[in-house]
Amino acid sequence: MFGYRVPAPDEAMLISGGRSKGDAPFRVVTGHGAFVAPFFRKVRFLTLAMCEAEVAETCVTQQGLSLNVRAVIAFKVGNDTESIVSAGQRFLSDQDQMSVLTGRIFAGHLRSIIGSMTVEQIIKERQKLATEVLDGSKQEMVKIGLTVDALQIQSIDDGALGYIIAMSAPHNAAIQKQAQIAQARADQESAEAEQESRRNQAQFARQTAIVQAQYKAEVDKAQAEAAQAGPLAQAQAQREVLAMQTELAQRAAELREQELVSEVVKPAEAEAERVRILALAEAEKMKIQAEAAASHNRVALDRLLIDQLPEIVKQAALGLSGANVTVLNGADGLSEIASGLVGQGLTIYDALRSGLGQHDPTENTSETDPQPELDAQ
């Protein structure tokens, strides 16, 4: 907005040209903005940021020795309105003058305080020196609207005088002595530690050798036992293998026996049983046939024999046909031979009937057929 001004967070806005509260010649605005009428008001900004001032001063101690002192001061404009007004009136046109003036103020107080102290005090009590310088300059800094946050003394030396070095020589010597003693003690401890280490190494080597010897003895013993146990274990394993093989052979024999029983004995027994049953059936059949033949008329059988009689005579004639027979009486002789053949067939017929157990009551058993007289040459 036209005429509305806002200061930065680390700035104070100073508005002049109008009425202000109290005795301040201008209005102080921080942390917020304000409307500034153009042409009637003038605005300036004063930094509230941290500033730094360096001091490099040659100071004379209470002993008359010159010391070169370097220090750094951290300061800023106070946050209250009174400090801002005081600093604005003095440094608003040239704000860099705050560092210059601060350095001069602290240089004066530093010379004054060092002049009341000895070198030993300054060296040993540096923090006390800084505190006294701060306390001595605080009132003057407040008057110009500045506050000091820190004072750091960076270095103190006596140039080429060598006083500080000489002052530190006894301590340095003591330190060197202590250092040498500490070094000697450290060397001794190191030597003792090294000796202890060697003793430990030797003891460790002996223990290691003993352990290795024991281990080797145990290994040799184990190998010997293993060498002895090897054949025994092998024999035991072979016995177990033979026992298992024997058991397997027995089981195989039993299995083969069962197979033979199943494949040979059982079929043979079944076949024998079948034959026996068939024989019994055949015998029973013959018995029934015999009983039937005995209980019935033999007419059919006689008829069968009678039917076969010509065949019997024929076979007998065929037997005579191959023989060298001389007929003595011609036609009568042939008739006798034929009659003889017929008689032989009847004889065979009677024999068959007798063999079958049948007797004809009408048959004349005393009667014999005349035999033809054959002259075989």
Residues linked to residue 156 through DSSP beta bridges, in sequence order: 69
Q: How far apart are CA 24 and CA 89, in angstroms?
A: 10
105 and 11 in one domain? no
**Where does 61-137 show beta strands of DSSP type E?**
66-77
Q: Considering the domain boundaries, does residue 211 fall inside one?
A: no
Domain count, the chain: 4
Q: Considering the domain boundaries, does residue 212 fall inside one?
A: no
282 and 313 in one domain? no
- The CATH number linked to 58 is 3.30.479.30
CB 102 within 8 Å of CB 142: no
310 and 282 in one domain? no
Sheet holding 51-60, edge to edge: 51-60, 66-77, 146-157
Q: How far apart are CA 288 and CA 294, in angstroms?
A: 10
Q: Considering the domain boundaries, does residue 169 fall inside one?
A: no
265 and 160 in one domain? no
Helix 126-143 to helix 97-114 angle (10° resolution) is 130
pLDDT of residue 104: 92
95 and 77 in one domain? yes
Q: Considering the domain boundaries, does residue 63 fall inside one?
A: yes
At which of 164, 199, 221 does a domain end? 164
pLDDT of residue 76: 93
Nearest to 340 by CA among 324, 353, 327, 352: 327
27 and 122 in one domain? no
The boundaries of the domain holding residue 264 are: 232-296
CB 360 within 8 Å of CB 350: no
302 and 291 in one domain? no
Q: Considering the domain boundaries, does residue 368 fall inside one?
A: yes
Q: How far apart are CA 283 and CA 293, in angstroms?
A: 15
Backbone angles phi, psi at 59, to 5 degrees: -120, 150
At which of 164, 187, 209 does a domain end? 164
Q: Considering the domain boundaries, does residue 107 fall inside one?
A: yes
| 3-class DSSP state of 260 | helix
Q: How far apart are CA 356 and CA 301, in angstroms?
A: 10
CB 108 within 8 Å of CB 136: no
Query: pLDDT (tens digit, 0 to 9) for every residue of the chain, 377 residues total?
Result: 567 888 898 898 888 877 766 677 888 888 888 888 887 888 889 999 999 999 998 989 988 888 999 999 999 999 888 899 989 889 988 999 999 999 999 999 999 999 889 988 888 888 888 889 988 888 899 999 999 988 888 888 888 888 888 887 887 788 888 888 888 888 888 888 888 888 888 888 888 889 888 888 888 887 787 777 667 667 777 788 788 888 888 888 888 888 777 777 777 777 887 888 888 888 877 887 777 666 555 555 556 656 666 666 566 566 555 545 454 454 455 456 556 655 666 676 566 666 555 444 444 444 444 444 433 33
243 and 153 in one domain? no
pLDDT of residue 321: 54
pLDDT of residue 101: 92
110 and 55 in one domain? yes
Nearest to 93 by CA among 32, 16, 181: 16
Residues linked to residue 59 through DSSP beta bridges, in sequence order: 67
Listed in sequence order, the residues at least 6 apart from 317 whose beta carbon sits closer than 8 Å to its beta carbon are 341
pLDDT of residue 308: 66
